[in-house]
Amino acid sequence: MNSRNEQLLQRLLAMFTVEAEEHVGSVTKTLLELDRGVEPGRLKELIEKTFREIHTLKGAARTVNLAGLVALCHALESLLALMKQGTVALDRSILDLMHASVKAIAGMVPGGGNGPTPSAPANLDSLIAQLNRLTGEAPPAPPPPMLPPPAPPEATVAAPPAPPAPPAVTQAPAEATTTQVPTGPARTPARQTIRVPIAQLDFLLHQAEELITAKLSGASRVSDLRSLGRDLTERARIRSRLTREAQADHDSQTLTWLGTKLSTLALAADNDARGLAKSVDGLLTGAKQVLMLPAANLLDPVAQNVRELSREQGKDIQLDISGQELELDRRVQEELRDALLHLIRNAIDHGIEPTEERQAKGKPAEGKLSITVSQRDGGKAEIAIADDGRGMDGRKLVAEAIASELLDEEEAENLTAGQIMSLAFQSGLSTTDGVTDLSGRGLGLAIVQEKVERLGGSITVESTLGAGTTFRLLLPVTMAAFRVVIVAAAGRQFAIPTNRVERVARVPARAVELVEDREIVRVDGKPLALVGLTDLLRMTLPAPPPADFRHYLVLAGAGHRIAVEVEQVVGENEVLMKGLGWPLTRVSCIAGAMMLPSGGQGFVLNVHDLLRNALRPDFKGRPARSLTNMAAPARKSILIAEDSITARTLFKHVLEAAGYRVRTAVDGMEAWGILNGETFDLVVSDVEMPRMSGFELTAKIRQDSRLGETPVILITSLESREDREHGVDVGASAYIVKKSFDQSDLLNMIGRLI
């Protein structure tokens, strides 16, 4: 073949690949609809549609000299023609044969994961023979090529040996079919080509053309800086010739001139940056739109796998899909494909029961599996995979976790329903009693969670024993830039996806508590383990010097929460994450790399790995910092005397959150009794209380030789001058009116007094 014909054939093959993928996808959808059963009128319409698709595909395949594909399309077209005429009735065996034929056609389409010149499938001759038996046709002679075939002999694919003749296929029940069903779902090759509307290409071209202005502006700024450098060199040369007295005046003039030049350059650079940002944002938006494809590209192959797996397992399953029109980033779809396959394997293998078991439970014989794609706020999409099968046994999950030493019995008793279900994502845990070639090893859900979280998403599970299970995957619609919280640790900067950060906070060092030699902080009144980010990353570093405040982030995922201490929270930003190349494709706790706003490089952390490391029984962080020196001020004790339970609770919460040990009394009499047996660093008291007022309590404290120096703060609604003077007279250290009460004022007052 001369070079001109070869180039023409390559262009035709590229166009054929896109066209063939659309035809195969359309026919696959039609066959799946026929699987569910349709009315006679709809049946006729679908057969006509399939006939036209196969006929068009055959003509296109002949154009690019794909003889095997032409032969299979011709045999299938002949069968569809007889079905249109009513000569052959559609039954389960014919439907299975059509599914197998379309799958073989998909495998012969060049490009994508099939290679530029895919070899014919091993069962090609068998499929054509079965189709010809149904139509009574002899195999057609191969058509002459429309373009000369390639000259090199090594490019010719040898035909496989003819298999033994299969038994005749008749219009029999489903169990009589001889069509081979694969033992497991094959991964659909990554799509290598997409169709892009001309309007989108025009938009991208326009945005790219605007970058020319930014390019010219950048060159102009470089020229200005070089000119400035030359001028400074010349001024320095002139200065060296001046007397000492003249140099001072020259320096003053030079600084004024330099300031003016730099201000002008800064203004020009700022304008350039604004224009460049606008162009880049527009280009990025356009590129994102090009990569957006309907979710049908992800769900259609999954639907085909559902059919094959259900037939292999001998289960009758109805699949409902909705939301296929919602657009998702092509890269999200490719990364998510394996995760969806894991979930449908679980649902089909040990989620949905066999027909006999379902009927015994009073369920419909046909199982139901649904996949729903829906839009969520914040640029997110939710994919829900639900079945009406057995559901998950939470008690069995807990028992497996205890047996695997992931939990002890005391921890298991305190688990919430959500935390119990999240155990299903632990590697090695499974509620099934056996292992099959599809599932049962307890690895699938752990893999799903890892893939989803690497995409910046989350996964949750809801299950009712005996009624079914629903998995909900919340994912970003696009995989471009995403928001992260940038933190500093060990002199380096790391990024944590914002959707995994519940809160960012700092607490006084004295507020950190020790429980069984582990540091904890209280978040919303509940204790939370505090672990260092450097410990989670296994970075060997000396203990940091004591600080007045400790900075941390609360990370959450899979039903678990931890507080991760960092040196500094730098801020929130949008970054573009790059994957790590070989051999660093899977480094623990690292999801990818990024460029920092400062121009340096940093790492995006994998929160799933951080949580897993922190919760491991053998995790050993840095020994808890000694709080002995800080404990004296941190755990100083305060007695609150207040008859209002609301005010008493408020004061107690405020003071405990600040790190104080707090005891309460319902009035002055009870407070005086407590003071006779215990010592406190400070007393906070209301004035108007039954049995003993705050004034009386303060006076008794001042008259006692042991308690006389204890500071007393009176908090009351009495704001007259006489009341204030009375408080001073009895010895109150401070007097705060409730009307103008502010908790920061109270804490500041306590800080000054003790």
Question: Domain limits of the chain?
Answer: 3-160, 198-290, 293-476, 482-626, 636-753
Strand partners, 374: 382
A 10 A CB-CB count for 237 gives 9
> pTM for this one?
0.55
What residue has token string 């497991």? Answer: 184
> Which pLDDT belongs to residue 116?
58
Look at residue 639 in the predicted model and tell me its pLDDT: 92
The listed CATH number (3.40.50.2300, 3.40.50.300, 3.30.420.270, 3.40.50.1820) that belongs to domain 636-753: 3.40.50.2300
Q: Does domain 482-626 have CATH number 3.30.342.10?
A: no
Distance (Å) of CA 80 to CA 45, 46, 86, 587 = 12, 10, 10, 53
Yes or no: say if 20 and 60 are a contact pair by the CB < 8 Å rule. Answer: yes
**Cβ-contact 490, 539 below 8 angstroms:** yes
In terms of CATH, what superfamily is 3-160? HPT domain (1.20.120.160)
Question: So what's the pLDDT on residue 170?
Answer: 36
| Cα–Cα dist 645/97, whole Å | 77
Number of neighbouring beta carbons within 10 Å of residue 445 = 24
Strand partners, 531: 564
3-state secondary structure of 317: strand
Question: What φ, ψ does residue 285 adopt, rounded to 5°?
Answer: -60, -45
- What is the signed CA dihedral for 255, 261, 267, 273, rounded to 10 degrees? -110
Give the whole-angstrom CA distance, residue 151 versus residue 171.
45
Angle (CA) 591-595-597 rounded to 5° is 130
- CB-based contacts of 365, cutoff 8 Å, min separation 6: 316, 355, 358, 359
Instruction: List, for the chain, all residue ranges whose pLDDT scores fall below the cut of 50.
Output: 1, 113, 149-189, 434-442, 622-634
User: Is the distance from CB of 181 to CB of 142 less than 8 angstroms?
Assistant: no
CA neighbor of 736 nearest in space, from 752, 716, 722? 716
Residue 304 tokens, joined: 């085909």
Burial of 316 (0-12, 13-18, 19+ CB in 10 A): middle
- Give how far Cα 700 sits from Cα of 23, 672, 703, 717, 734, Å: 94, 8, 5, 22, 16
Residues in the chain: 754
CATH code for residues 293-476:
3.30.565.10
